[in-house]
Amino acid sequence: MAARHVACAGAIQRVATGSDGRIVAIGTEERVFNRYQRRAIALRDGGCVIPGCGVPAGWSEIHHVTEHVRGGPTHTDNAVLLCWYHHRFLDRIGWQLRMNNGVPELKGPPWHGTDHRWRAATTSPVRLKKRAKRILTT
Ligand SMILES: [Zn+2]
């Protein structure tokens, strides 16, 4: 069986064919984010969304907030930037992630010392600029 990626009109599809050339499976949605989605997510998140991490977007990976195998779409509304470490160990270190209308929100682990409420991730330069402006004008 061979898997090929077919790009057509900006969308990427995964097509698997048998040795006889028959189409065995066809994906309507790719598990890997395309470069346009990556750019948009990088602009929104700025880098790893875990507070205090500081790994920039270029060194971060894209995480499906609802896992792809559990039906989570490969969509910017289901994706956040995480560094290699936080991507691998997110479950073990206790940070919780969710999406709220396309905005990533985080809840800290008990040891983090915050009030354990859901908070919007604020690592994005765009979001931080808006926040700074709000603070300066009030
Ligand atoms: Zn990180």
User: pTM for the full model?
Assistant: 0.69
Q: How far is the CA of 90 from the centre of ligand 1 (A)?
A: 9
Are both 24 and 45 inside the same structural domain?
A: no
Q: How far is the CA of 73 from the centre of ligand 1 (A)?
A: 22
Determine how many CB atoms are found less than 10 A away from the CB of residue 82.
25
For a pLDDT cut of 70, what percent of the chain falls above it? Answer: 72
Are both 13 and 74 inside the same structural domain?
A: no
pLDDT value of residue 47: 92
Torsion over CA of 100, 104, 105 and 110, rounded to 10 degrees? 140
Are both 21 and 51 inside the same structural domain?
A: no
pLDDT value of residue 105: 93
What is the extent of the structural domain holding 23? Answer: 1-30
Cα separation values, 37 from 33, 81, 119, 129, Å: 6, 11, 23, 22
- DSSP for residue 130: H
Are both 6 and 43 inside the same structural domain?
A: no
Beta-sheet pairing, 23-27 with 11-17: antiparallel
Query: Which residues are 107's β-sheet partners?
Result: 96
Mean pLDDT over residues 56-62, rounded?
93
pLDDT at 112 exceeding the cut of 60: yes
Number of domains forming the structure of the chain: 2
Q: How far is the CA of 49 from the centre of ligand 1 (A)?
A: 7
- Tokens 């057509």 belong to 8
Are both 41 and 106 inside the same structural domain?
A: yes
pLDDT at 59 exceeding the cut of 70: yes
Are both 19 and 40 inside the same structural domain?
A: no
Q: How far is the CA of 16 from the centre of ligand 1 (A)?
A: 35
